[in-house]
A and B are shown apart, each in its own frame.
Chain A
């Protein structure tokens, strides 16, 4: 039994020391670098409700990515048919994933093009309209659609990560939630609105030619010519704040997008002292830009960002070297953010903000301070009460409770779990159950003593009996907590995590650690009378 005592001390001691080491970084930031090499830990992360910062949930409109994918296929199809000399009448996208076209001419020839080069589109129906004219409905292959959808979400995640990295936030957390939601946590951010603008912007940069032949007035009335679209330039008067919208009739076809961008930087116009964004294309982009400008000299090329026309300068000459610029009365901050989103790339589909929560740093500190004070006061009172009621045994129980908290904190640190307000509720519940466990044991030992048992027998029997109770009540709660974790979301999970860890620590400290102390006192120190 004595040997046994020694071994138990070593094991329990090791666990305790390890937990303290895990918890150490949370208490003090000044630890030598070698410490982190040996102990795989960080400080306990506080949730944004405690620390201050911003929490965002975005939904990627993946359907829109499918739409624009089908749109691109449609445009390619039109060019292809034209090149092959096949007359195409109506050619439109329907719903998000279908193309309807009216085609005439050699049926074998166009069917071959459709089946060979457009295998991603499946023929839904082919009906003869007039003689020689066929109406074909194509639908995007469901597997391909799934791939586009998944690709869009992955790319959105990557792009947002890039933008936030360039924006400069310490310890951002960007994760996929479910299938199409992105959870973003930015601790300690000062200007949440600016971050939202930066993250939520699609930033699709497009170059399109201005339709010089089409009638702008007709288009404004609602009948834009086939193959042309109406977009606006928004001009904000810096003095009055009024917004002027200038309409542009543009060719629908996009000549170039921001995909070929290599760099975007803010540059100051020396003449007007106004910042603009200088673009630099990669090799492919530079060649493409040279081709486009060469073929369209004296025409106007519109630079469009998210369906807003920024400028539409006349192309004076073929432009080699792959450089362009976006002007438009920015201030330095706007131009800087624009450069960031352009560098990080466009989102493949628009995103919706489903949820935004931002907590100012002062409020986070307030709730921490109040929470800590209330917790400390109540912990101290509970501890004093235990000593008052159970004397020396109460001291033992208090040691177990303190150890319990250290173990939970150590576990939170090593699992990199985040402590939130609901998490603290879970912690409080587990500590309440730890108090209960100690009370159960002590009451049981007292009861056994009353039956006239010796101290040793009372301790053995008391622990044996109370253990069953503690195990059943803790396991029942643990099972419930596991279900809450598995099926709950954010806050429910935060509660469940700390509760689970707390319950496990509870069984260890309340049953095993205190038992060791009692055994040590009665076996080794020969204590003859229990102070309980």
Chain B
């Protein structure tokens, strides 16, 4: 069975004048949204604070929980429904050293107030501001260093710095768009979402390498053609694979999105955006960057 008829020749690269605009606008919207929202909405993992997940066996309205929190004296607490019936998330974003004490008092108070409603405290997270900051800086360092490593490895394997730069440009593009989606959809940036960003990085670089690899092969095969035509050929030759792989992964993520439960919901949503960006960026970010770089900076040996 063939998904794409052999010999198919879409002019992918020829559309780059349009797609530059698409990418540019997407990036602008992403950065603009992050900027207008004053950065991402960090969860307790990164911002520090207290998070409680509670569930009642009896019917309890959200306003009752809100009132209780106010009566306890935590006016800055955010209460929201979570998952199933009578289950709530309480969030208090706050720095300081006495978080542990505050969390203890709140728990004791809630237990007392909702006696007879069978309150179950399902999850408690108390994160000091130091830990969140640490996590942020360390993760940023780790990702930056891994990008440099990718740049060096790809440049070495493909014998041209432009391929390394193209790969990294696509990665940066995808990360910005994924963060833009997080910001636009007003998702809370927490640990699972950080894992998604890492997954997007892995997927995007994998996709890029597959096409670069085909370009490397075709450069030897069609010596007379110019690089732009070769990129087009390579993308067309691997089109079946791109659709199959991205399609299967997308299918999995869609299942996670619909059936994975509330914890996985945001996770899957971000991943969907990242997957689309990752597949698109291979063709319309990584490839044009290589072409542009070679046009302007590499001496033409032939012709």
List residues of A whose CB falls within 8 A of some B CB: 57, 59, 192-193, 196, 200, 352-360, 362-363, 366-367, 370-371, 373-374, 377-378, 381-382, 385, 389-390, 421-422, 425-426, 428-429, 432-433, 435-436, 439-440, 443, 446-447, 450, 465, 468-469, 472-477, 479-484, 486-492, 495, 499
Contact = CB atoms under 8 A, between A and B. Distances in A.
A interface, over-half SS: helix
Contact of B150 (A367, A378, A474, A480): A480
A472 B146 contact: no
Given A57-B131, A370-B264, A479-B146, A355 B126 contact: yes
A382 B131 CA distance: 39
Contact of B213 (A358, A468, A480, A495): A468
Interface of B: 1-3, 6, 53, 97, 99-100, 103-104, 107, 120-128, 130-131, 134-135, 138-139, 141-143, 145-147, 149-150, 153-154, 157, 167, 191-192, 194-196, 198-199, 201-203, 205-206, 209-210, 213-214, 217, 237-238, 240-241, 244-245, 248-249, 251-252, 255-256, 259-261, 263-264, 267
Contacts of A425: 192, 195-196, 198-199, 267
6 contacts: A200-B100, A360-B122, A378-B252, A472-B213, A488-B138, A495-B198
A487 B143 CA distance: 9
A356 B248 contact: no
Nearest to B256: A374
Contacts of A440: 210, 241
Contacts of A465: 217
Contacts of A353: 99-100, 126, 128
Given A389-B1, A488-B138, A492-B194, A432 B249 contact: yes
B125 A356 contact: yes
A49 to B, nearest CB: 9
Contact of A487 (B138, B261, B264): B138
A192 B108 CA distance: 13
Given A374-B260, A378-B256, A381-B255, A422 B191 contact: yes
Given A436-B245, A443-B241, A465-B217, A475 B153 contact: yes
Contacts of B260: 370-371, 374
A196 B107 CA distance: 14
B127 A476 contact: no
A133 B209 CA distance: 78
A483 B148 CA distance: 10
B161 to A, nearest CB: 15
B123 A360 contact: yes
B131 A389 contact: no
A264 B43 CA distance: 44
Nearest to B84: A366
Contacts of B1: 389-390
B146 A370 contact: no
B150 to A, nearest CB: 6
Contact of A377 (B157, B196, B245, B255): B255
Contacts of B100: 196, 200, 353, 356
Given A468-B213, A473-B209, A367 B259 contact: no
Given A374-B264, A425-B198, 15 more contacts: A356-B127, A357-B125, A363-B123, A371-B261, A374-B255, A374-B260, A374-B261, A389-B3, A432-B248, A439-B244, A474-B206, A476-B153, A477-B205, A488-B138, A489-B139
A437 to B, nearest CB: 9
A371 B264 contact: yes
A421 B198 CA distance: 13
Contacts of B2: 446
Contacts of B209: 469, 472-473, 476
Contacts of A357: 123-127
Contacts of B139: 488-489, 492
A354 B125 contact: no
Contacts of B141: 487
B186 to A, nearest CB: 22
